[in-house]
Structure 1
């Protein structure tokens, strides 16, 4: 599928201010998701393969090295062991992850390692994870990552703009980052665990999309609360609302705390229920994940062998 590009729109302050979220209704809807739909056996295996294709395989640790990044890139290119691929009969799929996500320092390393694979490199930017570096420095970081070969830029917003209701400042900030990205796609991290209310999350989602975000993303993975299904429901409803008003398709990326195959299935079900099959593809949906692939591969090995593998058999452990 061709990548989506969302044009920069005008800030509709009236829409932002009139947006409200009913928390109890959100919680009831989320509680109904596992009861309404489940997948088993070969269908579950197929959904887990789709989860792999939608992963941004990520390393964002203080102890990252070039060797770690090269290992991650090799895993992104061949996310399943060959014996599992053969047993599933999916060799012709040429399955890869959706992207590899790294700090700016390792963008060039990842670009070189992934050359010719078609896997894009995403760079976290703008003073990740707090987003409180001087503004010009944050802009320069975006431009530097694009120049180094990053095809996607994950930026963080100034959470204070949301908490004080300064929507114009948030719009101007995200728009400036979008313009600095050039042809690279912009994924805007809201930092939902620090936005206090679901209404704030909904409003921030709308402003980020109006400013030209190609994706909206839940979290940095460094907050105390990261990707949760209630937050995901609110953000996907805002994507649906914005699409109905403008005709533009905005991607969604939950990140932080998604570590099991069961959680991945819950998120895929949410996307199918709220946005439809089109959002079950990597050009409109990504998982921000560092440990998720390990459990997905383990579940797929169980499907083909009937046995659960020991943790040491998983190459990302």
Structure 2
């Protein structure tokens, strides 16, 4: 990765994905659909659902967020299903920078990470200096992970050097915090552009690539996630370096979560079936997964109101 200059901007663009392979739309959509038809037996289903819980970034990114709401979400991440202690903690809490310190305090001593959105989330429409200050502030507050958004206007107008440089500068501003690069795939228009954006995000230093902010539809889809997983696979084959993946937005049911885990296993293998390399951006997903786990444990569905909404 090129190094930033003293003002934090990376002036030099290095070679990356100029020869990106074209994505066969029909083939990728058919493969994603075929993998959704895989039959998962009861034992594997329960193990998969527990793994999905361990991979969740519980998220609240609303104007009405409060300290009480953030603490409640942290408590849910620590004890997702109190009736079944075999269900472990979630991977992380994702909040705006102002709530990072609150989350860190609530999660102190636990393995649950605190992630924060930054870089003028969700639009990304601010000068780079402001974006980098946003990142540094979140890290100073204690964020373990930063979820940044790329400049989609620059990406769609072919300003690939600008996209690369901003990601590289953001990575530098993260220090030891991990960086997730949000592509906002619903605005990129084609799988070819998603592929190229994925390659740029990886080449510029992203620890994860992420589909969406959750504020734009369509967000995560199996097909667009498969394109991103294949980019990660090809990068690993070429370099031996593992990059993580995070579908976010639109993954709402236990059945969908299991489908995404099948996509990961069949594309990247068991090494990626860990919270260190795969996450779900989840706000509505957790309760459905917990309902399914209780159904498998007791034989009966609980009412949705039996699970907290926070």
> Is TM more than 0.5 here?
yes
TM-score (norm 1): 0.92
Give 2:27's match in structure 1, choosing from 14, 25, 28. Answer: 25
Does the CA contact (< 8 Å) of 2:20 and 2:195 recur in 1?
no
Does the CA contact (< 8 Å) of 2:121 and 2:149 recur in 1?
yes
Query: Which one has the bigger helix percentage?
Result: 1
Q: Does residue 215 of structure 2 align to residue 222 of structure 1?
A: yes
Alignment-derived partner of residue 246 in structure 1:
239
Alignment-derived partner of residue 126 in structure 1:
119
Does the CA contact (< 8 Å) of 2:186 and 2:216 recur in 1?
yes
Alpha-carbon deviation of 1:8? 6.7
Alignment deviations for residues 155-189 of structure 1 (CA, whole Å, 9 cap, x no partner) = 00000121011111111010000000010000000
How many corresponding residue pairs?
A: 301
Alignment-derived partner of residue 11 in structure 1:
14
Provide the C-alpha distance between the structure 1 equivalents of 2:284 and 2:31, rounded to a whole number of angstroms. Answer: 28
Provide the C-alpha distance between the structure 2 equivalents of 1:100 and 1:8, rounded to a whole number of angstroms. Answer: 31
Alignment-derived partner of residue 291 in structure 1:
284
1:268-307 alignment, distance < 5 Å: 268-307=261-300
Alignment-derived partner of residue 69 in structure 2:
68
Alignment-derived partner of residue 158 in structure 1:
151
CA-atom RMSD in angstroms: 1.4
Give 2:163's match in structure 1, choosing from 142, 161, 170. Answer: 170
1:98-137 alignment, distance < 5 Å: 98-137=91-130
Alpha-carbon deviation of 1:19? 2.6
Does the CA contact (< 8 Å) of 1:239 and 1:250 recur in 2?
yes
Q: Which runs of 5+ in 2 are unaligned?
A: 4-12
Q: Which runs of 5+ in 1 are unaligned?
A: 1-6
> SS of 1:267's equivalent?
helix
> SS of 2:179's equivalent?
strand
Alpha-carbon deviation of 1:11? 3.3
> SS of 1:64's equivalent?
coil
Q: 4+ residue stretches of structure 1 with deviation over 2 A?
A: 7-13, 15-19
Alpha-carbon deviation of 1:61? 1.3
Alignment deviations for residues 6-53 of structure 1 (CA, whole Å, 9 cap, x no partner) = x7797324x334431110111111121023x32122221111000000
The structure-2 alpha-carbon separation of the partners of 1:29 and 1:11, relative to structure 1 and needing over 3 Å to count, comes to: farther
Q: Does residue 40 of structure 2 align to residue 47 of structure 1?
A: no
